[in-house]
Structure 1
């Protein structure tokens, strides 16, 4: 018997082709055909996973976040699900736990999230809903300061290997793909390339992305400062590109860099780049080292000469690039869609058992 599952997106996520962020893309990827997904109304074509139903806008004279929460409660009571899955909103998960069993999936460090900022709040949350995290790093953040070691299950992100572009000859190209913000270390990458470019005249460098997801991403002070630096270093900045375009670029680039200063809670870009067979360089922060294992080079973006050394090591050594490309594909296969869906089904059953005070399978 299939479960009636209601998936609740964060209010800023858009479940639409060409506008989807990382959470929406992952929800679409793993969703089962009968899952109902709710979130902000979108223009254009919704993502294909599950059945998307836009929330009706609340008419209550309340702050926007409370209107969103009340709209979710109303939708849940109308749908009457067996399980509610809430992404990245601890406060909303707690509110919806009064309606049905809830599974909370954390994609980021919860210590800055409303309803999970303190150890006491997190312990109270873990007593009411089944908490899941995309990495052990996120789970460790959740448990910080607790005397009781709250239960946190791991549900890693995944990649659909069946939709990746066909393998093709690699260009002598280094690619950054993702949000072009300081946290992602893009400026450190540009600076590193500026000091190397004259040694590698037959290589090109591309930055693919913008401040936000979607073609209407705004210009920001960071981008305004970065553009002349990139132009002087002969770095091409393409702006926002769709997810299929990013995967195509990863399949062609010899090297993909993920030089994040911010401790990545998972590192989806690194996983996709490995799946596409590129040689990958990542920073040693957050969950990135756990995701890549021994299939990538590590380089801290602000450590003097570290990023330059890693780039030079790969550009000088085609055999090493090929070795890391092969290891990366093998590593990415551990995060397959099939494994993710099996884990999803098991955790859904565990969440329902948890809400009943039973021992989960």
Structure 2
């Protein structure tokens, strides 16, 4: 790294604040904290000045005045421009204030989270730019456009091998060796088991965005098949961060499904991150029923650190996050999920064994583990 400071760029308009559950700010906070603890120069993060406070104190804040994001039609036109070998002008305008803020800084390592446009915007700057992919960013890009946008990227980091495979497949051959994997970590001190918990009934928990992709409805259908089991299901979250936003069609359908299930299903709205550890300690089993290839959900690590047996979909990067500390089932399969839950309900010893494995795995994969992976990548660029 040659003593250079690291500047993280998060998605425009995202909040570098513990008041949200947004994944990228959580990852940046974890990496920045671990890096400083390892003796690295204090990191910085580029943040739209209008975003929420208080902010995490793990990095210096570089503020900028954000531009208006491109609308759907502009994004469609951008995709067409990209196919024609032209610059995606709308997204470039959206990120240009960020690029200008970065250009004003001394030469640094710029970590562009989910921003494939940024290596191109900073291609003639003294900064080293690393694309940090949390999702499949290049699905609307041709290989030619991806090569043009990322030619100047020093490295391309993906949060799971599953995502890395997708990314390599979308890149021209010469760029493929620049793809590296840095798995998401967890704060194993903040998230920890409750040694005194002795529940009168089993609590199964889902926590995350309540949208169809995340599969909370699959879990409700599975719970409905466990008639007679002494348990409750708690679904925590909303589609976004607004606690009192009107229910979406999907949320209303989910509540109808829950009422028809005959099971004890309860709902709780979005919870700020500082409240998550205590809430997770009230659970006995954690379920990640995603029906889409989630690259690396942070909730898996947080549940493992809390010492919870995890039952999760075998899709995307989820199996990499769970390892041997949980049970994997086919996605969108309520019967298979119900069978896995039934096994845990009927076998307390199996639950205890998985809980111990879960905690051990989380302790091995904290944010210092993630930082060491990223530090090794940066040492090679």
Q: TM-score, normalised by structure 1?
A: 0.88
What SS does the corresponding residue of 1:128 show, helix, strand or coil? coil
Match of 1:54 among 63, 67, 70: 63
2:146 maps to which residue? 122
What does 1:95-244 correspond to in 2, within 5 Å? 95-99=121-125, 100-112=127-139, 117-129=141-153, 130-144=155-169, 146-148=172-174, 149-168=176-195, 169-171=197-199, 172-196=202-226, 198-200=227-229, 202-215=230-243, 217-232=245-260, 233-244=263-274
1:260 maps to which residue? 290
Q: Cα distance, 1:64 vs. partner?
A: 6.6
1:247 aligns with 2:277: yes
Say whether the 8 Å CA contact 1:39–1:53 is kept in structure 2.
yes
Distance 1:269 1:322 in 2: 20
Match of 1:35 among 30, 40, 43: 43
Using a 3 Å threshold, how does the CA distance of structure 1 residues 217 and 330 change in structure 2: closer, same or farther? farther
Using a 3 Å threshold, how does the CA distance of structure 1 residues 266 and 58 change in structure 2: closer, same or farther? closer
Q: Deviations over 1:201-235 (max 9, x none)?
A: x3111001110135355531111211222244321
5+ residue gaps in structure 1? 355-361
- 95-104 vs 253-262, which moves further: 95-104
Using a 3 Å threshold, how does the CA distance of structure 1 residues 326 and 307 change in structure 2: closer, same or farther? same
Distance 1:231 1:85 in 2: 46
How many residue pairs end up in the alignment? 346
1:72 aligns with 2:98: yes
Distance 1:262 1:217 in 2: 25
Say whether the 8 Å CA contact 2:159–2:182 is kept in structure 1.
yes
Distance 1:51 1:136 in 2: 31
Using a 3 Å threshold, how does the CA distance of structure 1 residues 30 and 224 change in structure 2: closer, same or farther? same
Q: Cα distance, 1:302 vs. partner?
A: 2.3
Cα RMSD between the aligned structures? 2.4
Distance 1:102 1:127 in 2: 11
Say whether the 8 Å CA contact 2:223–2:338 is kept in structure 1.
yes
Q: TM-score, normalised by structure 2?
A: 0.84
Q: Cα distance, 1:127 vs. partner?
A: 3.5
Q: Cα distance, 1:19 vs. partner?
A: 2.3
Say whether the 8 Å CA contact 1:6–1:81 is kept in structure 2.
no
Distance 2:247 2:285 in 1: 27
Q: Deviations over 1:147-206 (max 9, x none)?
A: 44442111111111122245231531000000111101111111111221x321x31110
What SS does the corresponding residue of 2:138 show, helix, strand or coil? helix
Distance 2:209 2:334 in 1: 23
Match of 1:270 among 300, 307, 310: 300
5+ residue gaps in structure 2? 37-41, 75-88
Q: Deviations over 1:282-314 (max 9, x none)?
A: 000001112212211111242361111011111
